[in-house]
Structure 1
């Protein structure tokens, strides 16, 4: 598997990158973003571009894990749509047909595009547009994501939240297994789905956990 990864500096992307680098079935990873990762690995190549809309067509990779995104909080509606919808579709259009494209959306996304919540409508429109492209697309809709292995959010408020919640995560996992997952599970699930597919193209949080459990993890990971 040869993977191109968007959003590797974000919390989810960090988790996905970790799992890709640990897995011997991943031959190479191209991390595309606006800033360097500060990480070195024999399998890892970086492509740093200030304007991701100006990317050239991406070839030589069979899988794209798209973890790039922003919170709608404090972001102007036009900017949120540009990053969430327009940039995602622009990147997808640079990939060869039949590329496996795994898109990180979110729980509560509005597939009808008619609900009251703007971010959910924009995410829904993005999912629907991706489904029409000649790609092998899967959409992930995680709920609460607990970062593991020293991974952190770039948002100070979220970092504080995760530190507070971490001691209670086992309880959340026991009593709310349908709505919580981890950065490790998301990375594992992406690799499992890219390799073997899944029963549905839209994976809710419980599906992500199920897909992650199907992956044969490398020894020592």
Structure 2
């Protein structure tokens, strides 16, 4: 199984790569990012990993499309979170979160449509959204309304593109809540405590980075149980998947 991950240097992507390297059913991992992806020291099975540098997620030259050709799974993890909106103009936020997402879909379709390496079944395309988003563009978000409407519309556009090209693409959307990691010790301790007493999860859905990656990889390798996976779904799937691998949070 060949897996392509867009945004390979990101928080979620690096964990997807780490876990995927240890999975025998995944035979090739291509990480596409704006800078080289550095594997952790002691990473397993590095021979099946390739880091590919892209200068702009809107532009896919033939050299990049060659890396997309023959993919079984593609995962889009690129975004600008609402907490970083002040660092960018909204046009740039939309360009990264929406325009680039559609450009990547089109590049994957073009690289695999009517080619000798086209897979016998549609490519599983996983678009990583976030809890609270929906393809219903009439639903007005309570927080960051302009951003939220744009992300809602992005889901709609991704789904429409997938439906139009369903002979090549099988689109799925995952919607994690707040993602936490032990890279920040005190934040993770706080999240663990709040999760235990069910306060944090009652108001702000959250998931461990390792748990999210395990859930996504479980669905990628065993088949998606449904088109949209909420944070609750990802926690339900990711916990057992992580324990089965013998990995902790």
Shared fold by TM > 0.5?
A: yes
- Aligned-partner Cα distance in 1 for 2:241–2:24: 13
1:36-185 pair list within 5 angstroms: 36-39=36-39, 41-55=46-60, 56=62, 57=65, 58-72=68-82, 73-74=85-86, 75-95=88-108, 96=112, 98-114=122-138, 115=140, 117-132=145-160, 133=162, 134=166, 135-148=169-182, 150=183, 162-174=184-196, 175=198, 176-177=200-201, 179-185=205-211
Write out per-residue CA displacement over residues 47-81 of structure 1, whole angstroms, 9 at most, x where no aligned residue: 10212222143212100111111124212111111
Contact 1:113-1:120 at 8 Å conserved across structures: no
In angstroms, what is the RMSD of aligned CA positions? 2.1
Q: Deviations over 1:163-217 (max 9, x none)?
A: 4422222222221456121111111111111122333211110011122245374
In the comparison of the two structures, how many residue pairs are matched? 209
Whole-angstrom CA distance in 1 between matches of 2:134 and 2:102: 18
- Structure number with higher relative contact order (C-alpha < 8 Å, ≥ 6 residues apart): 1
Q: Structure 2: how far apart are the matches of 1:112 and 1:20?
A: 33
Q: Which one has the largest radius of gyration?
A: 2
Q: Structure 1 125/15 Cα, relative in aligned 2: closer, same or farther at 3 Å? A: same
Q: Are 2:241 and 1:207 equivalent residues in the alignment?
A: no
CA contact (8 A) 1:189 1:209 kept: yes
The alpha carbon displacement at 1:45 in A equals 0.5
SS in 1 for 2:38: coil
Q: Per the alignment, do residues 163 and 113 of structure 1 end up closer, same or farther by CA in structure 2, a change over 3 Å counting? A: farther
The alpha-carbon deviation at position 27 of structure 1 amounts to 0.6
Q: Are 2:18 and 1:14 aligned?
A: no
Deviation at 1:220, TM superposition (A): 6.4
* Contact kept? 1:64, 1:99, Cα under 8 Å: yes
Aligned residues of 2:134 and 2:155 also touching (Cα < 8 A): no
What CA distance in whole angstroms lies between the structure 2 residues aligned with 1:12 and 1:45? 17
Structure with the largest fraction of helix: 2
User: In structure 1, the residue corresponding to 2:58 is in which secondary structure?
Assistant: helix
CA distance in 2, matches of 1:28, 1:59: 12
Distance 1:87-1:185 versus aligned 2 partners, 3 A rule: same
